[in-house]
């Protein structure tokens, strides 16, 4: 009888070892990675970009809010307000702050995809150029002084977003510092952060309710992907390599080579893990994330395909990794998928949606 029990025990131990060994190998060689999907609306983002006369690394501004398209612009924002006042209010505020028609056009594209009839809404925007009606700055100021109701974006109406928003505001200084060190816009970095955070909150509901909700802090990923930006060990190591390798298309220059240096003769694996999983200070999570974004932007710019104001492309590549970053004329948008309030989202397009929603525009403004 004892021999049978011992025999069964040994079999159980062997099964456990096989399972753990398989999980280790799956993580080590990325067998568990979910293949990215392509957003059906992928081509729309590129088409919208092609309407712009010039692609620059700053938001082109009109001379004033009262340019040749003044009445048409007020008409477009008024049309958005008819569909959803709260989100139209954010668009209105961003346009007044930047005076950028390019920004307005992209914000209206993100908005249009969530209207009840996107094609009808887009047709209405086009008609504003021909027949702007009586819309004016004064009327919009009165109408949108304090817009109410829910956002047109499902993710902005759920409880997780309110927790994430408070966490981002708490971490503003660290986010700004990391973005400045890497040389990117803080809002671009945040557009990747919020997708990872929404994914964590909507896939780890029990942890959210138990830990993150009462503390109002950002969630840390598990050991397969570390920290508040869910960065895998392999990608973190590649980011470090790219900083040093002058022959790499991801190389950022001498001035950034030391940003992720380790103490001499230190345990790099241990320090890397501590950096990315530090729950009290998220700076290194943001710095690794910001450098990944900057390295991807640099690779594409060197190849002749700059990614200025393309958060949807940057986030897609951030999600699928350096190895799949292949610069080209018309990149596809997508990445991993998640469901928020029963609505399917793609990693890249959700980043675009946040970036051009106007949400948190006063904390992480457009530049």
Chain position carrying tokens 């109408």: 143
pLDDT at 29: 39
- 349 vs 14, which has greater pLDDT? 349
Say which residue, 222 or 271, is predicted with more confidence. Answer: 271
C-alpha 362: how far from its chain's center? 18
**341: exposed, middle or buried (C-beta count within 10 Å: 0-12, 13-18, 19+)?**
exposed
Is residue 210 very low, low, confident or very high in pLDDT (cuts 50, 70, 90)?
very low
pLDDT tens column, 2-14: 565 555 555 554 5
Alpha helices in the chain (DSSP H): 2-28, 42-50, 70-83, 85-98, 101-112, 118-128, 137-143, 159-170, 172-182, 186-203, 205-207, 213-215, 233-244, 268-277, 283-302, 311-320, 347-355
Q: What is the pLDDT of residue 315?
A: 96
Torsions phi, psi for 340 (to 5 deg): -125, 120
57-90 confidence digits (pLDDT tens): 777 666 667 778 899 999 999 999 999 999 999 9
Angle in degrees, 0-180, between the axes of helices 233-244 and 283-302, rounded to the nearest 10: 60
Phi-psi region of 256 (alpha: psi -120 to 50; beta: other; left: phi over 0): alpha
Residue scoring higher pLDDT (183 or 39) = 183
Say which DSSP state 219 is in.
Answer: P
Q: Average pLDDT of 98-119? A: 94
* Per-residue model confidence as pLDDT tens digits over 9-32: 555 545 544 444 443 333 343 433
Which of 139-148, 152-161, 199-208, 308-317 shows the lowest mean pLDDT across its residues? 199-208
CB 82 within 8 A of CB 145: no
Regarding predicted confidence, which is higher, 157 or 219?
A: 157
C-alpha closest to that of 80 among 93, 68, 69, 67: 93
Higher pLDDT, 277 or 33: 277
Q: Is the pLDDT of residue 295 over 70?
A: yes
Rounded to the nearest integer, the mean pLDDT of the chain is: 85
Backbone angles phi, psi at 348, to 5 degrees: -65, -45
pLDDT over 70 at 287, yes or no: yes
- The whole-angstrom separation of Cα 135 and Cα 105 is 17
The total number of residues shown for the chain amounts to: 367
Q: Which 8-state DSSP code applies to residue 111? A: H
Query: How is residue 281 written in tokens?
Result: 């200070």
The answer for 330, left when phi > 0, alpha when psi is -120 to 50, beta otherwise, is: beta
Q: What angle do the packed helices 268-277 and 283-302 form, to 10 degrees?
A: 100
Q: What percent of the chain has pLDDT over 90?
A: 63
pLDDT at 67: 77
Any idea which residue has 């060689």 for tokens?
29
The answer to whether residue 179 scores a pLDDT higher than 90 is yes
CB atoms within 10 A of CB 45: 23
Cβ-in-10-Å burial (0-12, 13-18, 19+) of 131 comes to: exposed
């Amino acid at each position: 009888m004892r021999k049978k029990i011992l025999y069964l025990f040994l079999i159980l131990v062997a099964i456990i070892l096989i399972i753990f060994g398989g999980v280790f190998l799956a993580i080590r060689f990325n067998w568990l990675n979910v293949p990215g999907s392509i957003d059906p609306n992928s081509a729309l983002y590129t088409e919208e970009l092609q309407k712009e006369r010039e692609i620059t690394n700053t938001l082109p501004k009109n001379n004033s809010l009262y340019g040749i398209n003044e009445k048409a612009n007020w008409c477009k924002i008024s049309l958005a307000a008819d569909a959803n006042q709260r989100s139209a209010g954010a668009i209105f505020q961003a346009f007044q702050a930047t005076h950028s028609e390019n920004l307005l056009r992209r914000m209206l594209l993100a908005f249009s995809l969530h209207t009840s009839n996107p094609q009808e809404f887009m047709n209405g925007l086009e008609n504003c150029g021909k027949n702007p009606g009586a819309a004016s700055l004064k009327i919009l100021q009165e109408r949108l002084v304090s817009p109410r109701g829910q956002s047109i974006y499902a993710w902005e109406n759920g409880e997780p977003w309110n927790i994430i928003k408070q966490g981002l505001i708490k971490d503003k200084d660290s986010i700004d510092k990391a973005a400045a060190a890497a040389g990117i816009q803080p809002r671009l970095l945040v557009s990747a952060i919020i997708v990872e955070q929404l994914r964590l909150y909507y896939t780890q509901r029990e942890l959210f309710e138990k830990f993150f909700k009462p503390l109002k802090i950002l969630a840390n990923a598990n050991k397969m992907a570390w920290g508040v930006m869910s960065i895998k060990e392999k990608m973190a190591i590649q980011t470090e390599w790219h900083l040093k390798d002058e022959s790499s298309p991801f190389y950022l220059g001498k001035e950034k080579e030391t940003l992720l240096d380790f103490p001499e003769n230190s345990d790099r694996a241990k320090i890397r893990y501590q950096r990315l999983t530090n729950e009290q200070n998220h700076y290194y999570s943001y710095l690794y994330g910001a450098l990944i974004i900057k390295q991807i932007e640099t690779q594409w710019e060197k190849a002749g395909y700059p990614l200025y104001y393309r958060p949807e492309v940057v986030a897609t590549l951030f999600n699928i990794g350096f190895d799949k970053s292949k610069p080209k004329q018309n990149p596809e948008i997508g990445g991993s998928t998640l469901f928020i309030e029963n609505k399917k989202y793609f990693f890249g397009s959700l980043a675009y949606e946040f970036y051009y929603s106007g949400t948190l525009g006063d904390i992480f403004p457009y530049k």
